[in-house]
């Protein structure tokens, strides 16, 4: 399947050559496929809207190119570009942009007016869309008499009136309450599933990412990473072994603007302790970040943990500081085997040490969780560890294998032991995955 939208090394520079020149997009390479629901996600100023307007055909790349349905819209003649914007793209804005002096129906069919479509045909199409989105009885109302949720559904109807291939939704729920937001998101989901439209949504609301097939995380004009939604059937098949879904994805919903390395810090701090005050946790996170980056020794880490708060330390008792320093060093060292296995697997290199790495991980987990298994259980557990590291099992699938009896192909662990195994193993995976930008 060919991409619906593709950018090749696209840069967008505002005020090029002037003193206030600003590079909004840097070397953007992305592909969006027909029928996908995509989120461009990131904080204000990250470049989401710039991508939006480039797709729309009103903001030409300064270098590189953007291809939509196999063509470069910036190579179109003026008439071809108008046709592209009218028939290929539908737009949903945060602020609705409905005209208060004409009816909702007239607003809905306005894009068809400019195409010279007869009134009777326009009216039939507009009324059908308003009926579909639950506001058909408001067709003759003026926008000022309607609620925000109703206005946005009218805006969605307007975006669909010319039956475009692509819907661009710019913060579509930014002006709505939670109930109206949910209604609009359900409408977009229906359009994506039923009408097979490609939906591209700009958002900084992490709760809306569950509706999307993939999320493009952006920051400072760059695409940081592309993350498939493991809970949604993908339009484009991807190699599950190359996209290992770990606690990173769960934490990213709680801390949406954090870098992957910062989420690793959160994961490890959660593993170590939940009974420190805010100042202690803040200092612990900053110090662990240096440990993860391997720019601090275990000895220095211990010194900071045990130093009093008044001396910029974490203020832990010496015995506990020593215990935690050893824990962090152990998990970071053990996670290197995850990293080695994943790297060699992604490179397609089958090697003699593959089995040894899996055995070492199995040993680490068994030792930390303090479990004892017989030969049959060990064989099943070993395969489960291999499959989870390879991305062939999700966390809940691993837990089910640990729960099922040996007679059903499981390990037969009780709840307490299962929780210990999964908890520790997921920490190893989180620290061991490569968080560089990979789609």
Domain spans of the chain, in order of start: 5-254, 260-332, 337-432
Fold of 5-254: Rossmann fold (3.40.50)
| Statement: the pTM of the whole predicted model exceeds 0.85 | no
pLDDT in tens, the chain (439 residues): 899 999 999 999 999 889 899 999 999 999 999 999 999 998 888 999 999 999 999 999 999 999 999 999 999 999 999 999 999 999 999 988 999 999 999 999 999 988 889 999 999 999 999 999 999 999 999 999 999 999 999 999 999 999 999 999 999 998 888 889 999 999 999 999 999 999 999 988 877 888 999 999 898 999 988 888 877 888 887 666 666 667 666 666 656 667 778 878 878 887 776 667 667 888 898 899 999 999 999 999 999 999 998 898 999 999 999 999 999 999 999 999 999 888 888 777 756 677 889 999 999 999 999 999 999 999 999 999 999 998 889 889 999 999 999 999 999 999 999 999 999 999 999 899 876 644 3
pLDDT, residue 316, reads: 92
Q: What is the pLDDT of residue 313?
A: 92
Q: What is the pLDDT of residue 438?
A: 45
What's the per-residue H, E or C state across the chain? CCCCEEEEEEEEEECCCCCCCEEEEEEEEEEECCCCEEEEECCCCCCHHHHHHHHHCCCCCCEEEEEECCECHHHCCHHHHHHHHHHCEEEECCCCCCCCCCCHHHHHHHHHHCCCCCHHHHHHHHHHHHHHCCCHHHCCCCHHHCCHHHHHHHHHHHHHCCCCCEEEEECCCCCCCHHHHHHHHHHHHHHHHHCCCEEEEEECCHHHHHHCCEEEEEECCEEEEEEECCCCCCCCCCCHHHCCCCHHHHHHHHCCCCCHHHHHHHHHHHHHCCCCCHHHHHHHHHHHHHHHCCCCCHHHHHHHHHCCHHHCCCCCCHHHHHHHHHHHHHHHHHHHHHHHHHHHHHCCCCCCCHHHHHHHHHHHHHHHHCCCCCHHHHHHHHHHHHHHHHCCCCHHHHHHHHHCCHHHCCCCCCHHHHHHHHHHHHHHHHHHCCCCCCC
């Amino acid at each position: 399947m060919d991409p619906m939208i593709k950018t090749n090394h696209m840069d967008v520079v505002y005020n090029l050559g002037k003193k206030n020149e600003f590079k909004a997009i840097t070397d953007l390479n992305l592909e969006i496929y027909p029928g996908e629901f995509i989120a461009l996600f990131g904080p204000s100023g990250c470049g989401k809207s710039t991508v939006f307007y480039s797709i729309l055909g009103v903001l030409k790349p300064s270098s590189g190119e953007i291809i939509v349905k196999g063509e470069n819209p910036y190579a179109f003649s003026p008439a071809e570009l108008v046709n592209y914007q009218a028939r290929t793209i539908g737009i949903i804005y945060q602020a609705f942009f409905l005209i208060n002096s004409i009816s909702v129906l007239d607003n809905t069919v306005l894009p068809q007016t400019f195409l010279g479509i007869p009134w009777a045909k326009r009216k039939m199409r507009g009324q059908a869309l308003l009926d579909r989105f639950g506001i058909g009885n408001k067709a003759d109302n003026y926008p000022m008499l309607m609620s925000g949720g109703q206005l946005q559904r009218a805006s969605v109807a307007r975006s669909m009136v010319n039956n475009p291939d692509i819907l661009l939704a710019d913060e579509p729920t930014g002006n709505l309450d939670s109930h109206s937001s949910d209604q609009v998101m359900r409408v977009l989901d229906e359009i994506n599933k039923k009408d097979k439209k490609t939906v591209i949504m700009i958002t900084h609301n992490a709760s809306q990412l569950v509706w999307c097939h993939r999320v493009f995380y952006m920051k400072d004009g760059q695409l940081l990473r592309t993350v498939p939604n493991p809970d949604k059937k993908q339009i484009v098949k991807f190699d599950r072994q190359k996209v290992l879904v770990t606690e990173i994805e769960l934490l990213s919903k709680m801390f949406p603007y954090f870098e992957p390395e910062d989420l690793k810090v959160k994961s490890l701090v959660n593993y170590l302790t939940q009974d420190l005050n805010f100042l202690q946790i803040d200092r612990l996170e900053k110090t662990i970040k240096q440990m993860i980056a391997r720019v601090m020794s275990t000895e220095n880490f211990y010194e900071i943990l045990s130093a009093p708060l008044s001396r910029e330390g974490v203020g832990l008792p010496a015995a506990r500081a020593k215990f935690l320093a050893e824990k962090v060093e152990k998990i970071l060292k053990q996670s290197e085997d995850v990293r080695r296995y994943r790297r060699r697997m992604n490179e397609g290199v089958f090697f003699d040490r593959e089995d040894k790495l899996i055995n070492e991980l199995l040993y680490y987990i068994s030792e930390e969780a303090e479990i004892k298994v017989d030969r049959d259980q060990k064989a099943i557990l070993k395969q489960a560890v291999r499959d989870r590291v390879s991305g062939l099992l999700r966390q809940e699938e691993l837990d089910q294998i640990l729960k099922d009896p040996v007679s059903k192909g499981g390990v037969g662990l009780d709840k307490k032991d299962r929780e210990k195994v999964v908890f520790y193993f997921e920490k190893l995976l989180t620290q061991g995955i490569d968080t560089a930008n990979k789609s």
